[in-house]
Homo-oligomer: A and B are copies of this chain.
């Protein structure tokens, strides 16, 4: 049982642990923790089902601090609730090697569900989690046996609500009626420039109503009972819920509360002391945690164990009643393990000079492996017929058909990226999402976060060069392959033909500790002999040697067959030429020195790279590059390739000039 006094102390503990951490680091954001402490308290002590000693317990609810700058609040909650995050870590806030970085990082800190900080991302990640949960519930739950039934709680901020990516996600969440979403809006009227009156005067409640959300208001964001009632009502409503809580940024700080001065800098010792005095808190010691407060929060540990035990019992009962589903649940959701024989379903394609577009091959691969991999789900940002992402014979994921596996993200690339991240981190599904490669720019922030956070999302990018033709330079990627390769921990693969496409999917599906970007052509490319394609997993491999090589032609994607043709011509003229198919820099860099030397021997320095994109970076492997250093043009693909030098003649000439 809690008393009003203990409750108040417990909330102030959150405020001042956070403010003390910021003060000690001399860096950080005290305003959100102090203003939103009561909201967090209400969620964490009255609603959140979690198990601090087993942060990954699958039956838990999820909590997202979308305003990741308030990280000290989250770390305080984690420490107090009994997660494996010591007080020392809080005291090392924002220091090298600590588990308490400036913004929460998934994978680093136990209990952090997603990486947040870049605004809007956490908001949209939650939508992805709710989608994954709804899907898994539809697949696995049975009446009376609800193994997957989480609420997704978030604290969202003015910044989140201003971000377009979050707006896209909110619209989709309303469309899908994701009733498990319960977002508390820290409505404090302050952003960094000052009052939200400066730039953000829209009627937020009405906007979210227009999206189809359930709206409630809490006039005093420190009123725990009011917040509690609103959360209860939100749980009962079938729509996603936004609870607008009027708060005071930096609550308690006598000279800064309610102003942007409270947002992003330490209060300073004097103001921190004044705030403590103001709220009846001991000034010293810093990082004070009253014993009764700690004991109160730490109840979460036992409560969590009980929740877990209960869930385990229910899961065992489920497995007895539904042994096949139980085994599948075990494999897919609990162990995140691929079926042993899934790779056997990967198709191969006979050699064929006419060939097919790699996007078409990708569509065939998806459909070939979909039956073996029920966890494979995904779709497109309203380009499904162009991206070839549809799984045939299964319904769309919709409000009425949450077991559906085909996703209609709408023309919402940014939200799609963030939603894929949320789906991937939830587990039990392998999500993919597609758009044209040029529109990777719209979702780049989400791709980066996937890489930083090791989310195993699969990003499909079709129409991967000027070879898309007539749509012109607004739709033709040029710099995009290289700009994706620049993102650390993102694996980018641009397969040369249908058989490499199957191998690219094999890599992407197998890669469970980070994101993969797949680049596919719009236009047909010849299908090469399948025997070679397994080399793709090593990033680059010798596709063919013509004689004793004195020249290496290396290429990726649609330019591989061009390089082959050119090599044939050069061979006819008596040159020794090696053709290297080079679908992935990142995979090649992971190979050992001996392998890399075997593909690109130091003694062959005449090396020409051919790729219909920026040449930057190919210098690492080649002595000369045929690339594109300009925007594309609107014309049939064949014409563009000719005009930009992607012809057999030009490759031959450039190779001879080496």
A residues neighboring B (CB under 8 Å): 25, 27-28, 68, 94-98, 101-103, 105, 115-119, 158-159, 162-168, 171-172, 174-175, 191-194, 198-207, 209-212, 260, 380, 382-386, 396, 398, 408-412, 414-415, 438-439, 441-442, 444-445, 448-449, 451-452, 469-475, 478-479, 482-483, 485-489, 614, 616-617, 619-620, 629-631, 633-636, 639-640, 643
Contact = CB atoms under 8 A, between A and B. Distances in A.
A162 B168 contact: yes
A384 B200 contact: no
Contacts of A164: 163-168, 412, 414-415
A115 B116 CA distance: 34
A620 B411 CA distance: 39
Given A164-B165, A199-B409, A614 B101 contact: no
A442 B396 CA distance: 29
A164 B383 CA distance: 17
A380 B639 CA distance: 43
Contacts of A167: 164, 167-168
B202 A103 contact: no
Contacts of A174: 201-202
- Max chain B Cβ within 10 angstroms of own Cβ: one of A96, A210, A411: A411
Contacts of A438: 118
Nearest to A167: B167
Most chain B Cβ neighbours within 10 Å, of A174, A414, A640: A414
Given A96-B633, A479-B486, A487-B479, A202 B210 contact: yes
A193 B384 contact: yes
A490 to B, nearest CB: 10
A536 B104 CA distance: 39
B103 A472 contact: yes
Nearest to A159: B411
B192 A385 contact: yes
Chain B CB count within 10 A is highest, among A410, A631, A640, for A410
A373 to B, nearest CB: 23
Contacts of A105: 472-474
Given A103-B471, A171-B200, 10 more contacts: A27-B469, A96-B633, A101-B633, A101-B634, A102-B634, A117-B471, A207-B211, A479-B488, A486-B616, A488-B631
Given A94-B635, A162-B411, A629-B488, A439 B118 contact: yes
A212 B207 contact: no
A513 to B, nearest CB: 15
Nearest to A444: B441
A81 to B, nearest CB: 22
Nearest to A104: B474
A382 B398 CA distance: 36
A489 B629 CA distance: 9
A449 B172 CA distance: 27
29 contacts: A95-B636, A95-B639, A102-B471, A103-B471, A103-B475, A105-B472, A117-B471, A118-B438, A118-B442, A119-B411, A162-B382, A163-B442, A164-B168, A164-B414, A191-B382, A192-B386, A193-B383, A194-B408, A199-B382, A203-B212, A204-B210, A439-B445, A442-B445, A452-B473, A478-B488, A479-B483, A485-B616, A486-B614, A486-B616
Given A175-B201, A445-B439, A410 B162 contact: yes
Contacts of A119: 411
A414 B473 CA distance: 20
Contacts of A469: 27
Nearest to A643: B96
Contact of A207 (B207, B411, B630): B207
**Closest 10 pairs (CB-CB, A-B):** A164-B164, A101-B634, A96-B635, A199-B410, A117-B474, A479-B486, A206-B210, A102-B472, A207-B210, A27-B470
Contacts of A482: 483, 486, 616
Nearest to A414: B164
Q: Among A202, A206, A444, A620, which residue has the most Cβ atoms of chain B within 10 A?
A: A202
Nearest to A399: B201
A636 B25 CA distance: 9
Name, among A27, A198, A489, A614, the residue most crowded by chain B CB atoms within 10 Å (CB to CB): A198
A24 to B, nearest CB: 12
A593 B174 CA distance: 59
B470 A28 contact: yes
Contact of A441 (B103, B172, B445, B478): B445
B193 A103 contact: no
Contacts of A384: 192-193
B486 A199 contact: no
Contacts of A115: 474
A472 B620 CA distance: 29
Contact of A631 (B25, B103, B489): B489
Given A119-B411, A488-B629, A620-B619, A193 B162 contact: no
A209 B206 contact: yes
Contacts of A118: 438-439, 442, 474-475
Nearest to A410: B199
Contacts of A201: 174-175, 212
A482 to B, nearest CB: 6
A118 B630 CA distance: 18
Contacts of A206: 206-207, 209-210
Contact of A483 (B117, B409, B483, B636): B483
Contacts of A383: 192-193
A443 B410 CA distance: 20
A171 B103 CA distance: 27
A642 to B, nearest CB: 9
Which among A159, A194, A382 has the highest number of chain B CB atoms within 10 Å? A382
